[in-house]
Amino acid sequence: MGNNPIPSKQTYGEAKTVSGQVIKFTCHPDEIEKIRKLLETSVYEVFMPTTSSVVKHGSHGEYSRYEIQQLKYLAGQNGFIEILKIDNPPEERCGFIINEYTTRWGGVFSEWKSLEDAKKAFSKFGGELNTEKYFSESPGFKRLVSYGPLTPWFYAIGDELLVGDFAVANGFEDDTFYRLGKKFLVKEESGASKVKICLCLGTRFVRRECDDPPYHEVAYRIVYFHDGTVWDERNFGSTPQPLSEEEYLKMLKS
């Protein structure tokens, strides 16, 4: 748990990838030959993630570090729907996407076996309110992902990390309890009894030396939620309480 410290012993190395790209790297002196061999035999090219695409959403744009083609786009007062073709999806992620966003429900995207399947479903049901139902019954449909106020992986920018179907800020870490996208009841910062339903955006693990004797190192969480709420594990305030999907839906109806 925690951020990996920079090793006290490190050396600089260089190697060529399979395609001939020259790579500079740092590592522990004992690991240099192993890393050089890996680069020369198994790695073809190395790229630093950079934002390269702008996808138009009406009067504004959505940025991405992937090569994205927006093939269809419809917008209304309460949201939009679009077909996206991602030319360089990482780690075998699906490159044929129908992405939807509404001001009431947030975002949801569906994956398709082919571009033609996505186009046919879009042309038939793209203007419907209940596309989740219609799309799931359409030929070529693979799966549906609800991302709400989070950022879907294909709109990752810069050095954001991909965690499953989502993009999160670099430095956030996975946690077995405060998981990305999980719903919690979070107390108001003022200390009022009113609680808010919040989505977890990620967790940072911090290590620091205690201010008081015996000055040993302690580790604690800082948890970030989608509405700007931040919970620090060192505080003795109310701990965010997890919500099951059934509890969440019940609260929405109450």
pLDDT single digits (tens) 41-61 = 999 888 777 777 788 887 678
Amino acid 81: pLDDT: 92
pLDDT bucket at 254, cuts 50 / 70 / 90: low
Residue pair 193/238 in contact by the 8 Å Cβ criterion: no
What band does 192 get if pLDDT is binned at 50, 70 and 90?
low
Cα–Cα distance, 191 to 35 (Å, whole number): 52
Amino acid found at 125:
F
Q: How confident is the model at residue 240 (pLDDT cuts 50, 70, 90)?
A: confident
In this structure, how many other beta carbons lie within 10 angstroms of the beta carbon of residue 192?
8
Please tell me whether the overall predicted TM-score, pTM, comes out greater than 0.85 for this model: no
Report the share of the chain in percent with pLDDT over 70.
88
Secondary structure, 3-state, 12-44: EEEEECCCCCEEEEEECHHHHHHHHHHHHHHCC
CA-nearest of 147, 152, 154, 145 to 64 is 154
Percentage of the chain beyond pLDDT 90 is 28
**pLDDT interval class at 2 (50, 70, 90):** very low
- Statement: residue 3 has pLDDT above 60: no
Q: For all residues of the chain together, what is the average pLDDT?
A: 83
> Alpha helix locations (H) across 126-190?
131-136
Whether the pLDDT of residue 141 is over 90: the answer is: yes
Count Cβ atoms below 10 Å from residue 241 Cβ, excluding itself: 12
104 pLDDT more than 50: yes
